[in-house]
Amino acid sequence: MADLVQHNITGGHPGETRRDFLILTATAIGAVGVAATIWPFIDSLNPARDTLALSTTELDLAPVQLGQRLTVAWRGKPIFIDHRTPEEIKAAEDVNLSDLRDPQPDSARVKKTEWLVIIGVCTHLGCIPLGQKTGDDRGPYGGWFCPCHGSIYDTSGRIRQGPAPANLVVPPYEFTGDTTIKIG
Amino acid sequence: MAQTRPGAGGRIIKWIDYRLPFVGMLQHELYEYPTPRNLSYWWNFGSLSGIMLVVMIVTGVFLAMQYTPHADYAFDSVERIMRDVDYGWMLRYAHMNGASMFFALVYIHLFRGLYYGSYKQPRELLWILGVIILILMIMTAFMGYVLPWGQMSYWAATVITNLFSAIPVIGQGIVTFLWGGFTVGNPTLNRFYALHYLLPFIILAVVLLHLIALHRFGSNNPLGIDMRGPQDTLPFHPYFTIKDLFGLAVFLLIYSYFIFYAPNFLGNADNYIPANPMQTPNHIVPEWYLLPYYAILRSVPNKLLGVILAFGSIFLLFIVPWLDTSPVRSARFRPVYKWVFWLLVIDVAALGWVGANPPEGLVVTVGQIATLYYFVHFLILFPLIGKLERPRPLPASIATAVLQSGGEARLRGTGAPMAKS
């Protein structure tokens, strides 16, 4: 009993002792220490600096004919570049936005209407849709068709049918000249 | 039984055992260990799985001595193992088909547990440890499949890691983190290799816990009633060591058939094409042992929900001991469950068929019905049947049941087989 009374005098509230405070602070400091030790291990798994350094791709679009599609690699992923015909542009622009699963006007997806630049990775589970080569199945909307699970994209790379939740992603890019672009 | 013989060897063992009580523990757990006398061959699959784990670790360690975990060299190093390394083809085929065999054994073991109620009180943790082993096996098998860096390796890695992109907001960040880059690439291959080497040893540790939990109350048995004394049991050795060894011989025949006569039957020819990040194969399928989960994933038209249900189908197994409300363990005495169990077997087989075929027409319909049934089976039928069903009367003890089926006259001989040992 004498011990308890003495501890209560040193602590603020009844029932709390200096030992409680010591345990709490020691545990908290310990937890911070453990977290700080674990972090370098976790962070080491993030993309390394040399991987990040490969992050821009530049190219000249002049040789790409009207109606031709070109695939280039950026960050190891295929980038689909489509020199769209006026009919394809019209088809992409005339779509009623309420028909779309991931509504986005065509104008928000291009910098110059005849050039569509998108990441050619299906937003479902990461397969590469067909439609880049002549003779490929482009699906009923004339865009791209993913053979893995049957997602269908239109001429603006927007999802129209199938399990994919979102449109093909537009990468960050800019026109550095009339026909030259820098992706990334 | 088995007393240490006097002599130099015996004295050394005694000296060690006094300081490190290991030999005595083995003697107790593998030799005298009282085992229900009525175990059928369905009880072979646990020990067979354990042996298969050892085979996988041994073949894997030797393959690792020849394999190069680099995106540019991995495919060629596997081909070198197949063509240039002495017996490399055998090690690789044994490892490759070994994964299939391991899953086949574990799935039979799991269904055995479901049929005979081996997960019920007091063996809930034993069951849960088993489910943890299954999950670790799936992770290990998936990462191992990526290592040869063929087309299927590459795209399996892409599709499976992309499952995490279904998580709202942070999903894409998690996927980049898993890859260590912006696509599946060399960093991904390296970490998968490291983990593929690590996880089997973690499985080994969990298997040890599984065995400790098993030996706490002993094996369940086809009658599902507790052992009540020496008349219900036989010592593990020699009765069940010999039974397990016979099963092992039969199993090795089947395993060897695959290694030597049909080594690529269970694989996918596309994986002999080197990985090409710019071209997806037209028809992606996982290995057969993952097809049912894949079928569930595809059967749900919503990406996030599909991922949740595919993972949920495994995690559901954790709560099976509490979903089944029946006090009777063995399906032998459960007139309704006995049949419903087979519906689950058919359902999982149907999901496997759905997963193997392109999602068109009938395949989609069957997939959706089978997915629905899988969850209905565990979440609705399990609790309901346990409550409504009238179980048949249980025998008084294992001994009476066993000896009755062998003829009334032998009833008097209760406990007699023990005298032989």
Same domain, A108 and A124: yes
Contact present, B273 and B151 (Cβ < 8 Å):
yes
Which of chain A's residues have a Cβ under 8 Å away from the Cβ of B304?
Answer: 165
Cα distance between residue B286 and residue B305, in whole Å: 20
**Mean pLDDT calculated for residue range B275-295:** 91
Q: Which of A41, A148, A161, A167 to mutate to test the interface with B (most CBs of B within 10 A)?
A: A148
- B410 has pLDDT over 80: no
- Residues B126, B132, B136, B141, CA torsion sign: positive
Domain residues for the domain of A22 are: 2-43
With a cut of 50, say whether residue A63 has pLDDT above it. Answer: yes
pLDDT level of residue B129 (50, 70, 90 thresholds) = very high
Chain B CB contacts of A78 below 8 Å:
277-278
Nearest CA in chain A to B168: A165
**pLDDT on residue A12:** 57
Give the CA-trace dihedral at B306, B311, B314, B320, to 10 degrees: -80
**Domain ranges (residues) in chain B:** 45-406
The span from the CA of B322 to the CA of B124, in Å, is: 9
- Number of domains within chain A: 2
**Residues A153 and A141: beta-carbon distance below 8 Å:** yes
Residue B391 has pLDDT above 50, yes or no: yes
Determine which of A127, A132, A161 to mutate to test the interface with B (most B C-beta atoms within 10 Å).
Answer: A127
Please judge whether A163 and B298 are an interchain contact, meaning their C-beta atoms are less than 8 angstroms apart: yes
Q: Which CATH architecture has domain B45-406?
A: Up-down Bundle (1.20)
Q: In 3D, which of A147, A110, A104, A105 has the Cα closest to residue A125?
A: A147
Residue B419 has pLDDT above 50, yes or no: no
- SS3 state of residue B37: coil
Cβ-defined contact of A45 to B177 (cutoff 8 Å)? yes
Mean pLDDT of chain B: 91
pLDDT band at B291 (very low <50, low <70, confident <90, very high): very high
Q: Which pLDDT value is given to residue B61?
A: 96
**What is the percent of chain B where pLDDT is above 90?**
79
Q: Which of A161-170, B35-44, B88-97, B256-265 has the lowest mean pLDDT?
A: A161-170
CATH number (domain holding residue A106): 2.102.10.10
How much is the pLDDT for B409?
Answer: 42
A contact test, residue of B175, B192, B297, B303 with most A CBs within 10 A? B303
pLDDT of residue B5: 54
Distance in Å, alpha carbon of B187 to nearest chain A alpha carbon: 8
If asked whether residues A39 and A103 sit together in one domain, one would say no
Residues from B in contact with A at Cβ < 8 Å: 155, 158-159, 161-163, 165, 176-183, 185, 187, 191, 277-280, 282-284, 298, 301-304, 306, 359
pLDDT of residue A140: 87
Q: Where are the alpha helices (DSSP H) in B357-397?
A: 362-376, 382-388
Question: Which range has highest mean pLDDT (A62-66, B3-7, B138-142, B299-303)?
Answer: B138-142
Cβ density class B252-288: b for 16+ within 10 Å, e for less = eeebeebbeeebeebbbebbbeebebebbbeebbbbb
Which helix (H) or strand (E) segment is A23 a member of? helix A18-43
Query: How many angstroms separate the CA of residue A182 from the nearest CA in chain B?
Result: 18
Does residue A70 sit in the same domain as residue A30? no
Q: Which residue has the tokens 């391991």?
A: B102
Return all residues near A74 (Cβ < 8 A) that are at least 6 apart.
A55, A56, A57, A119, A171, A183, A184
Whether residue A9 has pLDDT greater than 70: no
A12 shares its domain with A69: no
Tell me: do A92 and A156 sit in the same domain.
Answer: yes
A141 and A62 together in one domain: yes
Catalytic residue check, A149: yes
- The answer to whether residues A121 and A68 belong to one domain is yes
Indicate the pLDDT class of residue B27, thresholds 50, 70 and 90: confident
Say whether both A56 and A134 belong to one domain: yes
* Mean pLDDT, chain A, integer: 86
* End-to-end Cα separation, chain B, in angstroms: 7
Residue B233 burial (CB count, 10 A): 24
According to the model, what pLDDT value does residue A1 have? 46
pLDDT at B89: 95
Question: What pLDDT, on the 0 to 100 scale, is given for residue A163?
Answer: 84
Are residues A103 and A171 both part of a single domain? Answer: yes
A175 in the same domain as A105: yes
Sign of the torsion formed by the C-alpha atoms of B37, B40, B41 and B47: negative
CA separation, residue B246 to residues A132, B45, B253, B256, B317 (Å) = 58, 12, 11, 15, 31
The whole-number pLDDT of residue A177 equals 86
* Residue A72 bridge partners (DSSP): A79
Could you tell me which chain B residue has the CA closest to the CA of A44?
A: B180
Whether residues A173 and A117 fall in one domain: yes
Tell me the pTM: 0.87
- Mark whether A99 and A138 lie in a shared domain: yes
Residue B232 main-chain phi, psi, to 5 deg: -90, -10
A151 to chain B: nearest residue by CA? B301
Lowest mean pLDDT among B36-45, B185-194, B281-290: B281-290
d(CA A157, CA A126): 15
